Every structure is written in C-alpha cells, then in structure tokens.
Amino acid sequence: MLLQRMYHRDNAEAKLELDNVKVIHSGWTPHQNFSSGLVDAGLREGWISLSKGKITLHTRPEELIYTIDRTPGRYCCHCDEKLPDDATGEMARSHVAAEHEGEKSPDPQNPSGYCMLNHYACTIAPELHKRWALSKNDQGHLMQNGKRYKEGRQIG
C-alpha cells in the first residue's frame, strides 16, 4: 500500500496543515497490516475511522474500507483464539498449557504456541482492491488498473 499525505497552507506565514490523504495503490494482495501507531495517528488526524469491525481510510479519490480480521493482542497459534492480555503473557501460557498440553506449536516462528500482534490484520473489499492493486503484465511491467505504473504514478 502506498498513501500520500497532501498538505495546504492558507498563506505564507501559516503552518502546513493536512488537507487529505491520497491513495496511490493498495499493494499486491488484499491483506494489509496497519500498525497501532498508524491507526492512532490517523484517528487523531481524522483520516482513519474505526467502526463496526472495519477500518476506513478517508482517502481521495475514494475511501478504502478494510475488514478487521485481527486486532492487536495475543492469539493462540493452535486454535486462533484471542487471548486475554497481561503484562507478562502468563494468561497466554496458561491457555496453551491447559488447552494444548504436549502439542508442538503449529507456527515455528512462535514456539510458545501463542503470538503477539502489534497491528490490525485487515482485508480490503475485493472490488476496491481490484481498482487499486498492483500487478505485473506478461512483460513484467508493474500495472495498476490496466495502466503501466512507475515510481508512484500511472503512465499512459
């Protein structure tokens, strides 16, 4: 995903203010991870909203709407259950010991049997992703919406 902040200034002495956020592309896949910091900043600045299990990016020329698949926190690698958070991870270790005793973690990157996410794991609606996705054509050129794409802009 590539976004671009667009700023304006009322006069030469005024400081720059965020006018809008422009979507350049939505990436290669419909899946996107938004860091908690980005979401918090976007909420403060008014170009992101959270509602009813969705993250909406109030971008131009159109809004991008993502379904939240997972919120920040701990998850069991065995059963994908969202686990209670505590400062030490004791509750997550207790869940794994009680519910999956003796089982090897299915995720080699998380041998403890649970993982900690610091981001929102999301999926964009297929029709939006189709309009804003990057792809490659038969010649290996980057394409977006049927047009050749190069360094943040469409060609042609």
List beta partners, residue 32.
122
C-alpha span between 94 and 113 (Å, rounded): 11
State pTM to two decimals: 0.82
CA distances from 135 to 10, 110, 125, 130 (A): 39, 32, 17, 10
> Model confidence at 139, in pLDDT bands (50, 70, 90)?
confident
Query: Could you read off the pLDDT of 80-118 as tens digits, one per residue?
Result: 999 998 989 999 999 999 999 999 999 999 999 999 999
Give the confidence band of 155 by pLDDT, cuts at 50, 70, 90: very low
What's the distance, Cα to Cα, between the start and end of the chain in Å? Answer: 21
What pLDDT does 56 receive? 97
